[in-house]
Amino acid sequence: MRVITPLLLCLVLAAASPAAQGGSDDTLDIYTVDVEGGEATLFVTPSGESMLVDTGWPGFDGRDADRIAAAAADAGVSQIDYLIVTHFHGDHMGGAVQLAQRLPIRNFIDHGTTVDEGENRLAAFRLYTDLRGGGAHRVVAPGDRLPVGDLDVVIIASDGAVLDAPLDGAGGANPYCEGFTFHGEDITSRYGNAEDDQSVSTFVGFGAFRSVIMGDLNWNKEHPLMCPEDKVGPIDLYLVSHHGSETSGSEALVHAIAPRAAIMNNGPRKGGAVQTFEILQAADNPPDLWQNHYSIPGGEAHNRPEQFIANLEEDTTLADGRAVHMGASHWIHVAARRDGSFTVTNSRNGFSRTYGPRE
Ligand SMILES: [Zn+2]
Ligand SMILES: [Zn+2]
């Protein structure tokens, strides 16, 4: 019979403890919180440092802030050490004030000043700047690093500029630049394009594990980042840009980084575009796609089987893309390991899949 030594017993107990208690294991935990077509993605290091990328929408009695706080509680963290606000749109910056009423936010990272105009957007921006004035504030540029535990956090785009030198492990010619078609005004005028183009986009490395989260950086801005040389390199987990809308996610980006899994933070009617599903599917090795929501535009032909989708309800969606749904919501959780392997779990049904180290 095998004798379990006290040391081995400790290891066994550690392995059996909940996956996402800050500091209890050696995983980077990532939560893509469902904020109904906004963005809110929480990263927690093995030693419990936290970095949140965006805060979801304002309003709804603090719905999105509550959902982020629930993910933070699950991860065992009681403050946000670094908040990256990718850009100053309501679905990204909007929940910050309500979140700060639930969890202290220590460092505010962003691209500086909105390029948007209009009374409502400027008023929303002022609410945020009043808040960030109460913490440490840093405007970042491409190539800057954030000291989040032992993660390798590198800014790859900000304020309309992109990296001019490749990340470690990147820099090869990108064959998917051939045939790149720039979007014209007919497409770029559809959304708040100018502010989207300022998005703070971030590479997050943890040992051999590599991921990227880009806010709403647009298709045309992907070109200088990825062409003619690929400055990002291979990615394990792609957090799908711009909610999966057709104004981001070019072949030059998606096919070059060749992710093994992707998570799309779409809402029922926000993002989740047919073109985005099709481009991901057309990769040489299509990534396993997970979705925060069932996509109504995607329909039966394009949505993944329901076990890959965290939230299935079709709900009232307002003209500005906000979904009114107030009930229970589910996140997608990723436990990433230093060897580059990672496990993705749908919190609605417990369905999970593990991806081994990259070959
Ligand atoms: Zn957005
Ligand atoms: Zn935006």
The enclosing domain of 172 has a CATH number of 3.60.15.10
| CA–centroid distance, residue 169 to ligand 1 (Å) | 29
| CA–centroid distance, residue 310 to ligand 2 (Å) | 22
Six-digit token string for 195: 């502010």
Query: What dihedral do alpha carbons 308, 313, 318, 320 form, nearest 10°?
Result: 0
| CA–centroid distance, residue 109 to ligand 1 (Å) | 17
The ligand that comes nearest to the alpha carbon of residue 244 is 1
| CA–centroid distance, residue 88 to ligand 2 (Å) | 7
Using alpha carbons, list the distances in angstroms from residue 178 to 238, 268, 278, 307: 22, 33, 18, 36
| CA–centroid distance, residue 2 to ligand 2 (Å) | 58
In a domain, 11, yes or no: no
In this predicted structure, what is the pLDDT of residue 15? 34
Instruction: Encode pLDDT of 137-158 as tens digits.
Output: 999 999 999 999 999 999 999 9
Instruction: Encode pLDDT of 51-94 as tens digits.
Output: 999 999 999 999 999 999 999 999 999 999 999 999 999 999 99
Residue 8, pLDDT > 50, answer no
In this predicted structure, what is the pLDDT of residue 191? 62
Round to whole Å and give the CA distance between 172 and 155.
19
Across the strands, what pairs with 342?
A: 336, 355
- Per-residue pLDDT band at 291 (split at 50, 70, 90): very high
Round to whole Å and give the CA distance between 335 and 187.
36
Six-digit token string for 123: 């008023």
Residue 271's Cβ-side half-sphere holds a number of Cα atoms within 13 Å equal to 28
First to last CA, the chain: 37
| CA–centroid distance, residue 71 to ligand 1 (Å) | 20
Round to whole Å and give the CA distance between 79 and 235.
28
> Mean pLDDT lowest for which of 4-13, 143-152, 271-280?
4-13
β-strand 261-264 against 288-293: which pairing, if any? parallel
In this predicted structure, what is the pLDDT of residue 319? 80
Residue 9, pLDDT > 90, answer no
Peptide bond just before 104 cis, omega within 30 deg: no
Instruction: Encode pLDDT of 313-332 as tens digits.
Output: 877 778 877 888 887 799 99
Instruction: Encode pLDDT of 177-202 as tens digits.
Output: 999 999 988 887 776 689 999 999 99
Residue 18's Cβ-side half-sphere holds a number of Cα atoms within 13 Å equal to 8
Six-digit token string for 177: 């630049």
**Burial of 338 per CB tally in 10 Å (0-12, 13-18, 19+):** middle
| CA–centroid distance, residue 125 to ligand 1 (Å) | 15
Of residues 23 and 130, more confidence is placed in 130
In a domain, 9, yes or no: no
| CA–centroid distance, residue 348 to ligand 1 (Å) | 24
Six-digit token string for 153: 């956090």
Percent of the chain exceeding pLDDT 90 equals 85
In a domain, 4, yes or no: no
| CA–centroid distance, residue 339 to ligand 1 (Å) | 32
Six-digit token string for 307: 């076990």
In this predicted structure, what is the pLDDT of residue 24? 53
Extract long-range pairs of 17-23: CB within 8 Å, 24+ residues apart: 19/333, 19/335, 20/44, 20/74, 20/75, 20/76, 20/333, 20/335, 21/75, 21/76, 22/47, 22/48, 22/50, 22/75, 22/76, 22/77, 23/47, 23/48, 23/76
Six-digit token string for 313: 């309800």
Work out the number of other CB atoms within 10 angstroms of the CB of residue 339.
12
In this predicted structure, what is the pLDDT of residue 115? 96
**Residue located via tokens 């979705």:** 291
Apex 31 CA angle, 281 and 115, nearest 5: 80
| CA–centroid distance, residue 292 to ligand 1 (Å) | 14
Q: Which amino acid is at 358?
A: R
In this predicted structure, what is the pLDDT of residue 25? 86
The ligand that comes nearest to the alpha carbon of residue 240 is 1
| CA–centroid distance, residue 328 to ligand 1 (Å) | 22
The ligand that comes nearest to the alpha carbon of residue 218 is 2
Residue 6, pLDDT > 90, answer no
In this predicted structure, what is the pLDDT of residue 321? 74
In a domain, 8, yes or no: no
DSSP state of 260: S
DSSP state of 204: E
| CA–centroid distance, residue 356 to ligand 1 (Å) | 31
Average pLDDT of the chain?
92
Percent of the chain exceeding pLDDT 70 equals 93
The ligand that comes nearest to the alpha carbon of residue 194 is 2
- Per-residue pLDDT band at 16 (split at 50, 70, 90): very low
The ligand that comes nearest to the alpha carbon of residue 192 is 2
| CA–centroid distance, residue 91 to ligand 1 (Å) | 5
Round to whole Å and give the CA distance between 238 and 262.
5
In this predicted structure, what is the pLDDT of residue 192? 61
Total domains present in the chain? 1
| CA–centroid distance, residue 91 to ligand 2 (Å) | 7
Domain that holds residue 289: 24-354
β-strand 41-44 against 28-32: which pairing, if any? antiparallel
